[in-house]
Structures are given as structure tokens and as C-alpha cells.
Structure 1
């Protein structure tokens, strides 16, 4: 009965609420900001290049970007896209692109808010904390909302998703290399434990190494596949667009199923609006909140437009996918498609990609949970250490447990988190529009933007934090 209730609520939230709420608010954010995700797109490269580091070792925009990409890029890029194509056909890829482009503005809004309302970590003055729990509490004055958000984040990402990632990685290695699941689980646990006990700085440093390798590696294999089938690319794009509006009879549910699958998998993969990425966006040391909004908007582009498309091309350019046919799906569909393109090594590549994608997601998931715990504990070290031990034990346990029911429950808690977060962002959209206007004004004045914190006092921001950041950055610029 509990499973049936959970399934009912999941279908209600994801299939009847979020499937409309996320695109509608995404369009609203896009229009009200005058298409901010496109206007600022190329500024992202300058922001990453000009990121200000100081001698105290604050976390940079690039490190925050890599950690957020570590979370967004995961099994959804390999298995989720395959499911979307299986159930929605090639046209689902088009709607996945649309939801990704719209979601870029949503990510911009929530991550700019996370920066605006961030606070200092109690244990390390060079580290910042923030996210939906923080901006809901500070801006709305409703701490109970922050508590609910923190609990949902901790349960979803810190416990359920990490244990499930451990199971996926371990079983994949058992299938490809005949390695016992418990051996893989122990290996994951050791590396995971060493990393998380080093705190957010060690997590970001490891992500800074892993993420570019995994993303570029996956992109490279997709380029190889496209090169081998270059003459078929125009026809493939034509197929994706035509099937988006006029799906073949083999796709049950018609155009509604195509849109639903594309939108749903896009939302699952890029996490725009779900309330997770703002926790990471808040840690970056930037001169203006809009800068991190721009960078995190680009993170959605990397995930959905680039890496999800890689999987879609690999599948659709192979002969493995047959519209309407019952057979392999999920990661096996991607794996079989790659084997057809480049031989048996394709299967091994997918397994290694899953390891890198999954482990980087585990680090990201842990940080979300740690940030949620910090909302309650405010730097209580013994409590943090107990929490870390629990997370480590769950990695071992998850390596040999089929956690389908737990994953389903986590989907429900994440859905609830997304609904709450989207409502909060919708209420707080005006501060973000003010931030955009202020940023644009300084660009027109020909200066590098910094937050003019005195202009935003009515929004209950921490003036002292921004005064320290802006003064420090201005001092460095004067010396340059």
C-alpha cells in the first residue's frame, strides 16, 4: 500500500504539477529577464577567466561550476536519455532541448538568489553557505520553509541517491568486469571518505579534476560516432524535429508522450529549479551574484544541450533502437549502441563513464546534504563527523542492495523540494530582476560589475559579507 501511495504521489507531482510548473515559470523567468540566458551566454567565458582568487583560498566560479556539473551530469545523461527515446521516440530529444534552454533561466534565477543571500561558514571564513533554505529564511522570514527544504535535501541527496549511485556503479562493474559488488563498494567508500573528510575545498578540487575528464571523454566518443556517421547527421536532425511534432504510430501516447518524456528527462537531468544546484552556487567567490547565475546557467547547457545530445546521437545513429519495439532500454541501450559503433570496448567505456559520472554525483550529493545539515548545526564539528560516517556506511550498504523503492521515495522528496523551491523563486523574482538591471548598468558604464550592496538593503541581505568581498576585489583591481 505504501508503494502504491508513493507511486500515486510521484505521478501527481511529476506528471501533473512539475511538468507544467517548471516550463511555465521557466518561460516567465526568460521573458521577464529579457532572455537573460542568451544575452549573457558568452559572458560566462570572461567570468571564468577573470575569477578573482585571493590568498585565503576562496572557492572560484570554475570550481563551483565543476561541482554543479558533477551533480547535473550523471546517470540521467546515459540512461535517462535512453529511456526518453524508448518511450517518447526521437522527438523527445527536441523537447529535452527546449526544456533545457528554458531551464537555463530558472537556474540563473535560483543561483543568483543563492549568491545574494549567502552567509559565511562558522568554521571557515573563506567558505560560504547558501541555497533555497537560506534565501527562503532570510528573504521571506519563514524559517519553517528552510527546515522543510533542508530535511528534503538531506534525505534525497545525502542518503537515498548516494546509496543508489553506489549500487549502480557496483553492479555495472560486476557486469562488465566480474568484480564483486562489495569490492567496488569498499573502493568507492575509501575514496569517498578521504574526500568528504577534507570538506568542501577538497570536494571542489577533486571535482575540478574528474568533471572535465569525464565530460570531455564522453564528448570525444560522441564526436567519433558522429564522424563515422557524418553523412547521416542532416537526416537525424530532420528526424528529431519531425518526430517532435508528428510522432510515428509506434510511439504510444502520441505527441503528448513525446513532450512528456523529453521534458521529464530534461528536468531530471539538468535539475534546473529543483533546488539542488543553488547550494553549490552559493559557495563561489564572485564580485556580483549575476556572475554565478550566468555560470550556473551554462551548466544546464553543458548537461542537456551537449552531453544529453551525445547520448541521443549515439543511440539514434546506431541500429539498436527500433521505434515501438520491446527490448533493452536505459543504460543497456546506450551500451549496446556504443558497442555497435566502436566494438566491445564501447561497453567498457560506458561502465567507466558511469563510474566517473556516478562518483562525481556522489560528491555533489554529499555536499548538498552537508549544506543542509549546516543549516541546523551551524558548524557543529562532532555532528558533522557523525553525519559523514553515516554517509560512508550507506555507500557500502548501497553497493549490494537493490534500492529501487528507496530511489522512488527519493524522487517523491525531490519533487516536493522542487515545488517548494519554484514557488519561493517565483515570489522572489524581483530581487533577481534588480540584480540584472544593476549588472547591466555597470556594464554600460564600462566597469567590471561588483554588487552595490547598499542598493539592496530592503531585500535583507548580509551587507557585511558583500562589503568584505567588494572591498577585497576593488583593492585587487586597484593594484592591477
Structure 2
């Protein structure tokens, strides 16, 4: 196990130090320029799209937003931010912001492509990078490579991490010795697996329904508590901002140890949190019923901003406002200690309940993505049932992981998947830009934009 942990840690360091940091930033910058800062220009339009109604048999734009947000908004926003600040310093938050702002353009491109090339799935829709890679690039093999990387990432990497973090939230209540030496993790793992099973074996509509209810309530409640804590520490805010920017551009420290610098840690945790450009959210975007693909692209950009610029920032300020001695703490115990310091036992219980609910909805959202890609590879119902069983088993296994192994395993698989998707959207980005121009043209004509693929010279679409 120690050898495996070292190998995965080494792979994570190499991948993020030499490849993914630069690929993500350059890809986001490229699409920001090509789309004319779409992630900022069309924010008001994104809010109006959320109000559009959908047929009762289809997932609405809001429902698709909540599925993607359920996967985005979770432990990355609370525990991930604490991990980032603990290992990369306050400057890591700045690079999380950069990842979100630039990544918003990448999120628009990938989600618009997913809408263009979505396919019918019974009474609803399915789609994502595997589908637009096959349809637009004409390579099923490349699509399968992406589908496999996503399945490994979300079913076995991310859901293992979600299960571990949810389980670790109970350590402070049962005591460290009892937690590590007893059977607490086994019992929690079994219970969690049993709770997830009905959703894994159920329908996508059920997943959309529970996440569309729970996610807004949880996010809103968490933000209220965060604002209260910040309001109680207003005097510290100017110095915190100064610290964030100073450490974000401390180049001597950055280049002295780039792999553990604020840049790498911030981008790594930012990507895990908002998933912009990674190829996951397009799987939810494709399920939405909308009149124009660009509309759902805008909605998914909004999801990136909600995730990182609002919720992650709230978590960061909670940590940075703390006067607690946090030495030796990491992950969930660190966040629990911080909240207890701010609000006493109420804070401890609140953040523990919040992370349990966030992690649980993320488990559901993550599996939703994985099943869509599993169906891309094969239509075998027997294989699907076996896969569902393996997903439930992984939830149990994840509850038994260690902190370092859980995060590094998720990071490595996430990085591989992101690189595959970045290559795909760079090759296909011109199609999404055509769709954007069509949307803008109709808006200027005073129309509620509707899309016909043949009008912009796009082929191989099934639903347009």
C-alpha cells in the first residue's frame, strides 16, 4: 500500500507540474479570447435561461445545472479549499479564481458541443465528450478512451474520495484511536453503499430531482453561515486579501518548489472543484431540453462561477479568518476545527452535516456521469448491472482509504481525463463558436434563439 501511495503521488506531481497546469490555463485563455469573454458577457442571459420550462419528461436547464453543480459543489468546495490553503498557502485561492474565470470559457465550449451532439435516450437525452468526439471527429476509439477515463475518474477516483471524506467527518466524534483501530469505517461504508444503491440502480430523473432540491438548499445554507463568519471578522478581510495576492505572486517560493506551489495547488484544487474543461459537466449539459445549444453552455459557465468564485471563496475566508492553531491538521478535521473555533459546537455540527450531504449528492452526480459514458461503450444490460454493483462496492472501499491516497488517486485519474478532453475541445472549438455566433445573431434580431444544425453547416447531429 505504501508503494502504491508513493507511485500515485509521483504520477500526480509529474502530471500537474509539467502538463495540466499549462494546458488548462492556455486552453481557457484561448477560448476566452475566441469567444470574446463569453463567460462574463452572457451572465445575465444564463440566469434567464434557467427560468425556461421543459417538458415533464425532459430534464430542464435548471435540472441539468443542479446535476452538474451537485458534482461540482461538494467536498472540493469545503475540504478541498482547506487542503489547498494548508498545502499551498493563501495564494492558492487566487489561482483557483484564475482557473474558474478562464475555465468558464472552456466550460461553455464543452457544454455547447455536448448539446449539439446529444442523442435521444428513451424519453430524454444523453451525451458528453465521448459522443461529440465520435460524431464530430469520427473516432469512436478516441471517444471510448475518454469514456473509460471518465468512468475510472468518477466511479472509482472521485466517488472513492467522496466516500472517504464523508466517513472521515465522523472521526472527531468517535475519537481518532477508535476511528482508526475500530470498525467505524466499515459500518459507515456499508451504510453509505446501501444508501447509494437505489440511486445507482434507479433513473437519471431521480438523480436530477434529489439534487435539484438538496443542492440549492445546502449551498444557500452554507453561504449564509460563511457570510455570518466573515461579517464577524470584517476587520481581518483587508489583510487577508493582501496575503492572498502577496503569496499568489511570491515567485521565489513558487519556483523554489513548483510542484507544491500556490499555482499548482490552486489549479489542482480549482479543477477538482469546478471541473471546467475536464469533460464531466457536458454529460449533464447534454441531458437538458433547450431551444439552442449555446443556452446550456452559458448555464454551465454559471455553474463554474457558483462553485469557485462564490462557494470556494466562502470556505477560504472561513479558514483564513480563523485564529486557531491548525498545525498538523488536514482535510476534514482541519475544517471542523476551524468551524468549531468560529461558532463553537454548532459550527462543528453544521460543517459535519454539510459535508455529509454535499458528499452524498456528489456521489449521485458522479455516478450519473459515469453511467452515461458506460452506455456509450456498451448497451449490454448485464454489463451495466455488473458496473452498478462495482460502483456500490467502490463507495464502501472509498470509506476505508487514507487521506493522501484518496486525494492523489482522484487527482491522477482526473488529470488524464482532462487532457483527453482538452485535446478534443481544441480540435472542435470552432463548431461551438459557430453555434455562439448563430445565437448572437438571433438575439440581435430580437428572437428567442432556436437552433438548426444545417443553418450553420453542422452535420452528424441527431436532435437538431
Asked if TM exceeds 0.5, the reply is yes
Partner of 1:239: 243
Q: Select 1:217's aligned residue among 204, 221, 224.
A: 221
Taking the TM superposition and a 5 Å limit, the aligned residue runs for 1:418-433 are: 418-433=418-433
* CA RMSD after TM alignment: 2.4
Say whether the 8 Å CA contact 2:68–2:281 is kept in structure 1.
yes
State TM-score, norm by structure 2: 0.91
Q: Select 1:193's aligned residue among 186, 197, 213.
A: 197
Report the CA distance between 1:361 and its aligned residue. 1.1
Partner of 1:148: 145
Say whether the 8 Å CA contact 2:294–2:439 is kept in structure 1.
yes
Q: Distance in 2 between matches of 1:157 and 1:299?
A: 18
Task: Determine whether 1:157 maps to 2:161.
Answer: no
Say whether the 8 Å CA contact 1:129–1:283 is kept in structure 2.
yes
Q: Distance in 2 between matches of 1:265 and 1:408?
A: 11
User: Do the aligned partners of residues 243 and 413 (structure 1) sit closer, same or farther apart at CA in structure 2, a change above 3 Å counting?
Assistant: closer
Partner of 1:230: 234
Secondary structure of the structure 2 residue equivalent to 1:29:
helix
User: Do the aligned partners of residues 306 and 434 (structure 1) sit closer, same or farther apart at CA in structure 2, a change above 3 Å counting?
Assistant: same
Secondary structure of the structure 1 residue equivalent to 2:20:
helix
State TM-score, norm by structure 1: 0.89
Q: Distance in 2 between matches of 1:328 and 1:265?
A: 18
Q: Deviations over 1:446-469 (max 9, x none)?
A: 01011122224444222xx22xxx
Name structure 2 gaps, 5 residues minimum.
none
Secondary structure of the structure 1 residue equivalent to 2:261:
helix
Report the CA distance between 1:92 and its aligned residue. 2.0
Give the number of aligned pairs.
455
User: Do the aligned partners of residues 318 and 26 (structure 1) sit closer, same or farther apart at CA in structure 2, a change above 3 Å counting?
Assistant: same
Q: Deviations over 1:426-475 (max 9, x none)?
A: 0101101101100000000001011122224444222xx22xxxxxxxxx
Q: Select 1:130's aligned residue among 127, 132, 156.
A: 127
Partner of 1:109: 109
Taking the TM superposition and a 5 Å limit, the aligned residue runs for 1:409-448 are: 409-448=409-448
Secondary structure of the structure 2 residue equivalent to 1:428:
helix
Say whether the 8 Å CA contact 2:161–2:398 is kept in structure 1.
yes
User: Do the aligned partners of residues 7 and 229 (structure 1) sit closer, same or farther apart at CA in structure 2, a change above 3 Å counting?
Assistant: closer
Q: Distance in 2 between matches of 1:216 and 1:83?
A: 22
Partner of 1:347: 348
User: Do the aligned partners of residues 80 and 399 (structure 1) sit closer, same or farther apart at CA in structure 2, a change above 3 Å counting?
Assistant: closer
Secondary structure of the structure 2 residue equivalent to 1:25:
helix
User: Do the aligned partners of residues 164 and 259 (structure 1) sit closer, same or farther apart at CA in structure 2, a change above 3 Å counting?
Assistant: closer
Q: Distance in 1 between matches of 2:322 and 2:220?
A: 21
Secondary structure of the structure 2 residue equivalent to 1:269:
helix
Partner of 1:27: 29
Task: Determine whether 1:82 maps to 2:86.
Answer: no
Q: Distance in 2 between matches of 1:368 and 1:256?
A: 30
Deviates more, 1:148-157 or 1:326-335: 326-335
Q: Deviations over 1:314-356 (max 9, x none)?
A: 011111267xxx5323322222221111112222222111111
Say whether the 8 Å CA contact 1:247–1:254 is kept in structure 2.
no
